[in-house]
Amino acid sequence: MKGSKDFSEIKEAIRRIALDNAIKHKGKAQVKPVLGKLLGENPDLRGKIKELTSLIDKIVKEINSLTLKQQIETARRLWPELLKKEKERIEEENRLPPLPNVEKYEQIVTRFAPNPDCVLHIGSARAVILSHEYARMYDGRFILRFEDTDPRLKKTALEFYDLIREDLKWLGCAWDAEYIQSDRMEIYYEYAEKLLKNGYAYVCTCQREDFREKIHQKMPCPCRKMPPEENLSRWEAMLSGEYGEGEAVVRIKTDLDHPNPAIRDWPAFRIIDTKKHPHPRTGSRYRVWPLFAFANGIDDHLNGVTHVIRGKEHLTNQRRQEYLYRYLGWEYPEAIHYGRLKITGVTLSKSKIIRAVEEGVYSGWDDPRLATFQALRRRGIRPEALRQLMIDIGPRPVDITLSWKNLYAYNRKIIDPIANRYFFLDEPKMMIVRGVKKDYVASIPLHPNDPKRGKRIFTVKNRSCQAHLLISSRDFSRLKIGSLVRLMELFNVKVISKKKEQIFADFHSEDYKKAKQLGLVLIHWLPEGEGIPCEAIMPDGSIVRGLAEEGLCQASIDQIVQFERFGFVRIDWMDEGIKVFFAHE
């Protein structure tokens, strides 16, 4: 080592780095990364690795002999900045894991590529949110690409382009560029010709069954050995309409003995009779349409996508597309395949959703029984909740099952602090309390944790020693004769008798402490004659009718509030009455 002063400085640096390394790894530092970091900070020490290693070894042993708690205390005393970094690291851990090979690319580009054949539902949340979040994380670009090249089976409809754009806006996933595949047909044709010309693809006119039989035996069909000239003239014939539907497809040559028969000489283009099945944007202008793997693969490259984040069901497509990329001399983007996300109690089949909406089984795309983003939005599920849930699930390859409860837990965290509290009585019934000695004024905060928001004031008049109140029918049917109960922020009563629509009680005591002491149930109420008609649309489509307190009129459409002892709701409509959608408890 150089001078003694330098030597002590180096020792200090090693101690600091080792301590940092230990804290990051549950109290156990390792020699190699410490050496690496030291050399990174002091490149002039590179000639002294041998001496340094034994010194680091000694210091690492010293540090590792301390408990993690002692290490953190030492760091706090000597290098508090290490702990600040630790805090940042924990925050980072709550975000997405890093993408692979980021350093290879000047800018990270991700994409979301929906087929505009339906509105988006929760099954798309992971693809769109992760792709958008990763682009944001790396200061990159996020692309929206409509993959609308199937006018027949996955039938595109014009309304869905805009509805999907609205869904993305609601999710907070703004996009930097947009492409529509039906605008790009000439591009796909150009690449088809290139591949046919170079012998990487051929036009197959076999019967589908004949081809399938051959390919299962790893045998070529007769079209495969046709020269490029023949293929190009067949291609021209496809474009000019000489072949009908199903009479010719363009196939990409692959290894015939590929273990997966679905990959062997996969189809890239087929004919769709657009006179019968017009495309909503291009009508019958095109009759030769690229299949998913082709158009999607070409565009990922041409759009400059660096990282594709999608479900593992797309692995087969990647294997297909890799042939395409090899033939075109392109490098395949980084592909991240996450596991299946199953959501219990949700219909995610687009065709089922479309059929049911068309048949009027559901009231529309935002019917509360659906898991579309429109329905979630209407019910008061916040996009931030979906985003955080998807980030926490991340792009892990394991399969995951989610329930509504998981999503509700995330949503509750977001809306509980903002939702003002109100009383709502489902099918209210009368409660007559006898033995009341005075008028009562109850004042209840709009939010229990935020007194600044103000209070709701209710006045209960004493009418010849009686108070007339309304309670919910749920409470009405639960209350038993002889039972004690506290009316929230009012007083405690004892149930004396019950009729069909009325319940009679005696005033018991005023003090809340008494209610607490006796372990009384707290129920909500309204003074008789107050309240505004309110309908709550439940997640199963049923309607709960009742009265909400009049103060709710001060709230606004779209606001999320909590009906106490009922649940969180989003105000959907307000006129002479109020309509709300139920979110969750």
Query: Which residues of the shown chain bind Zn ion in the complex (CB under 5 A)?
Result: 204, 206, 221, 223
Distance of closest approach, residue 211 Cβ to Zn ion, in angstroms: 5
What angle is formed at CA 190 by the lines to CA 188 and CA 191, rounded to 5 degrees?
65
Question: Measured from the CB atom, is 253 or 337 closer to Zn ion?
Answer: 253
| DSSP result, 445-498 | ESSTT-GGG-EEEEEE--BTTEEEEEE-HHHHHH--TT-EEEETTS-EEEEEEE
Structure tokens at 378: 């209407």
Question: Measured from the CB atom, is 204 or 436 closer to Zn ion?
Answer: 204
Question: Residues for the chain: how many in total?
Answer: 585
Question: Measured from the CB atom, is 221 or 471 closer to Zn ion?
Answer: 221
Question: Measured from the CB atom, is 195 or 343 closer to Zn ion?
Answer: 195
Please report, for residues 24, 71, 362, the alpha-carbon distance to residue 74 in angstroms, rounded to integers and kept in the order given.
14, 5, 63
Question: Measured from the CB atom, is 56 or 206 closer to Zn ion?
Answer: 206
**Close Cβ partners of 156 (under 8 Å, ≥ 6 residues apart):** 115, 116, 117, 148, 150, 182, 279, 280, 281
Distance of closest approach, residue 139 Cβ to Zn ion, in angstroms: 48
Coil, helix or strand at residue 315: helix
Q: Are strands 420-422 and 560-563 parallel, antiparallel or unpaired?
A: parallel
Q: How far apart are CA 432 and CA 528, in angstroms?
A: 10
Q: How far apart are CA 128 and CA 387, in angstroms?
A: 10
Q: Do 541 and 584 contact (CB within 8 A), yes or no?
A: no
Q: How far apart are CA 175 and CA 112, in angstroms?
A: 9
Question: Measured from the CB atom, is 200 or 325 closer to Zn ion?
Answer: 200
Question: Measured from the CB atom, is 228 or 454 closer to Zn ion?
Answer: 228
Coil, helix or strand at residue 140: coil
Distance of closest approach, residue 295 Cβ to Zn ion, in angstroms: 22
Question: Measured from the CB atom, is 247 or 535 closer to Zn ion?
Answer: 247
Q: Do 424 and 447 contact (CB within 8 A), yes or no?
A: no
Distance of closest approach, residue 333 Cβ to Zn ion, in angstroms: 31
Q: How far apart are CA 282 and CA 224, in angstroms?
A: 32
Distance of closest approach, residue 210 Cβ to Zn ion, in angstroms: 8
Q: Do 426 and 472 contact (CB within 8 A), yes or no?
A: yes
Question: Measured from the CB atom, is 221 or 381 closer to Zn ion?
Answer: 221
